[in-house]
Amino acid sequence: MDERNLAELKTLSKEARKLFIEMMANLGVGHIGGSLSIIDALVYLYYREMRVRPQEPRWEDRDRLVISKGHAGPALYALLAMKGFFDKKELMTLNKLGTHLPSHCDMKLTTGIDMTAGSLGQGLSAAVGMAIALRMQKKDSRVYCIVGDGEAQEGQIWEALMYAGSQQLDNLVVIIDDNGMQIDNYTDALNAVRPFDKRLAAFGFEVINVDGHDFNQLDNAFYKAKTIKKRPTAVIMSTVKGKGFSFCEGKLSNHNMKVSADDLASALKELA
Ligand SMILES: Cc1ncc(C[n+]2csc(CCOP(=O)(O)OP(=O)(O)O)c2C)c(N)n1
Ligand SMILES: [Mg+2]
């Protein structure tokens, strides 16, 4: 990627983090860590990869995104607002009475969301179904699905992966957010699902390992994924939970944490 493109993505990622942290501080609490670990990937997907039309959100030839780890909804809301799916002012209604932005992704409430999620383990099955349906309709739309590393302890994830491999779904990209942490402990300490790369390769995937905060690596991975035929691609992202702000980055306590006015002030200072 050239310097100009890289600089643009870095600026967009700062804007996304700013909107995100202002939204969370306004509510005062929420899923901080797992949102910040995928926010750079979302910037890449929405600004370089996915074919979407904010003015025509249900456009049938769009690419689909399923955030199977649905608690990271707020990161997605920041991106959807930036892209113009809805007004940025709506971000301040996050998880309040009557909002269109609940803490977990809801396709019936939020413009631009393709699948409801939050009960971990289920979203990938829906994404696999979407990919099969698109192929049956001879559409060239692609389906992207983000799965958490802790979420990958769910058996249903492996059923869906196995089926995606057996169906040779080359219109599906499974993105594993391997931040090494889950709700209150390290993933390896509870039920180690690594190594993702060897396991997914055995399930019939083309596997690409990346640093999920490095736009050049994301660019190479998603470019390569489009060239792979007759099998799905897995982009295994090594990420840092809470990436970007020192009050939360890499801390086990960042899963669902309070955000004080001081936290917001320090976060905004770090972005400046
Ligand atoms: C079926 C189910 N079990 C438990 C939960 C509660 N829960 C929400 S997030 C989470 C941890 C998920 O860890 P991971 O997938 O690694 O997410 P991240 O680190 O990205 O936040 C758990 C256990 C849930 N939402 N759904
Ligand atoms: Mg995790």
Nearest CA to ligand 1 atom 10: 183
- Report yes or no: 209 and 175 within 8 Å, Cβ to Cβ: no
Rounded Cα–Cα distance for residues 137 and 270 (Å): 47
Taking the centre of ligand 2 as the mean of its atom positions, its distance from the CA of residue 38, in whole angstroms, is: 10
- Report yes or no: 37 and 212 within 8 Å, Cβ to Cβ: yes
- Report yes or no: 49 and 62 within 8 Å, Cβ to Cβ: no
Q: For position 239, what pLDDT does the model report?
A: 99
Q: For position 201, what pLDDT does the model report?
A: 98
Nearest CA to ligand 1 atom 4: 120
- Report yes or no: 234 and 174 within 8 Å, Cβ to Cβ: yes
Q: Each residue of 197-256: pLDDT tens digit?
A: 999 999 999 999 999 999 999 999 999 999 999 999 999 999 999 999 999 999 999 999
Q: Determine how many CB atoms are found less than 10 A away from the CB of residue 150.
A: 23
Smallest CA-to-CA distance from 44 within 71, 8, 19, 18 is with: 8
Q: Which helix (H) or strand (E) segment is 187 a member of? A: helix 187-191
- Which strands make up the sheet holding 64-67, listed edge to edge? 64-67, 143-148, 172-178, 233-238, 206-211
Chain-centroid distance, C-alpha 58 = 19
Smallest CA-to-CA distance from 66 within 128, 108, 123 is with: 123
Domain that holds residue 182: 3-271
Query: What is the number of the ligand 1 atom nearest to the C-alpha of 187?
Result: 16
Rounded Cα–Cα distance for residues 73 and 103 (Å): 6
- Report yes or no: 204 and 232 within 8 Å, Cβ to Cβ: yes
Q: Which residues line ligand 1 (CB under 6 A)?
A: 33-34, 37, 69, 71, 118-121, 148-151, 177, 179, 181-183, 187, 241, 255
Q: Using the structure block, give the residue that is written with the tokens 């690596």.
A: 217
CA atoms 62, 67, 68, 73: torsion sign: negative
- Report yes or no: 151 and 68 within 8 Å, Cβ to Cβ: yes
Query: How open is the CA angle 73-76-82, to the nearest 5 degrees?
Result: 145
Q: Each residue of 88-127: pLDDT tens digit?
A: 999 999 999 999 999 999 999 999 999 999 999 999 999 9
Nearest CA to ligand 1 atom 21: 34
pTM attached to this predicted model: 0.98
Taking the centre of ligand 2 as the mean of its atom positions, its distance from the CA of residue 33, in whole angstroms, is: 9
- Domains contained in the chain, number: 1
Query: What is the number of the ligand 1 atom nearest to the C-alpha of 152?
Result: 15
Rounded Cα–Cα distance for residues 97 and 185 (Å): 31
CATH of the domain at 98: 3.40.50.970
- Mean per-residue pLDDT for 180-203? 98
